[in-house]
Amino acid sequence: MAGVYGYKEIGICGLSCRLCPAMYRDGESRCGGCKSPGRMKVGCTFIRCIRDRPGVEFCGDCRESRGCEKWAKHRAAGRKGDSFVCYQRLERNIEYIERDGMPAFEKVQRRRQSLLVRMLEGFNEGRSKTYYSIAATVMEPEELESAIGQARKASAGLDLEGRSRALHSALDAVAARKKYLLKLRK
């Protein structure tokens, strides 16, 4: 049946809504994910495209996806830049979903989301939401776990600003070593 989605927090295009900073806003501007009722009403190109296609929850599910000009343009743009959300893993996300399926991808995204929530709850001084969202998107979960653990030890007894600086330092060290970019590409 059209409009019934099992993975509401996985974007149709292959992005993870769970790691989007808009999902962690307060109040009415909080986004519930690409497939939430509010987003489905307004929609992006991909939402409008699949709204009436039963069984299509992800662009890769569509039999026209290989030749889809919209998806090709989106993927090409995602290789070069970002909008308000990080697209750095878009291609790897798509490959993962196509190779291992949506349930496996969802499981990894839930783990990433759990780590993001830990960063936001324990280390966000009010200016790091996007930075932590990018880190949760780009870095491997084990790297995030390690950085959070290091920051907890290094910031014991410090105020929120100090805890935030400690986590930034730990994440930046991993990013420098692995050549990750922890900012939006404009």
Mean pLDDT over residues 116-140, rounded?
97
Taking 60 as the threshold, does the pLDDT of residue 3 lie above it? no
pLDDT of 1: 32
Can you say whether residue 145 is alpha, beta or left, with left for phi > 0 and alpha for psi between -120 and 50 degrees?
Answer: alpha
Let me know if residue 69 belongs to a domain. yes
Quickly count: other Cβ atoms within 10 Å of residue 14's Cβ.
Answer: 26
Q: pLDDT by residue (tens digit) across 72-103?
A: 999 999 999 999 899 999 999 999 999 999 99
Percentage above 70 pLDDT, the chain: 97
Let me know if residue 109 belongs to a domain. yes
3-state secondary structure of 75: helix
Taking 90 as the threshold, does the pLDDT of residue 166 lie above it? yes
Let me know if residue 9 belongs to a domain. no
Distance of CA 26 to the CA centre of its chain: 18
Mean pLDDT over residues 119-141, rounded?
97
Quote the number of domains for the chain. 1
Per-residue pLDDT band for 2 (boundaries 50, 70, 90) equals very low
Measure the CA–CA gap between 11 and 14, rounded to whole angstroms: 5
Global pTM value: 0.92
Helix, strand, coil tally for the chain in percent (to 5): 60, 0, 35
Let me know if residue 118 belongs to a domain. yes
Let me know if residue 4 belongs to a domain. no
Let me know if residue 3 belongs to a domain. no
Measure the CA–CA gap between 17 and 110, rounded to whole angstroms: 10
pLDDT of 143: 98
Of 55, 66, 116, 115, which is closest to residue 94 (Cα–Cα)? 66
Q: Are 71 and 59 in contact (CB under 8 A)?
A: yes
Domain with 120 in it: 17-178
Let me know if residue 12 belongs to a domain. no
Let me know if residue 166 belongs to a domain. yes
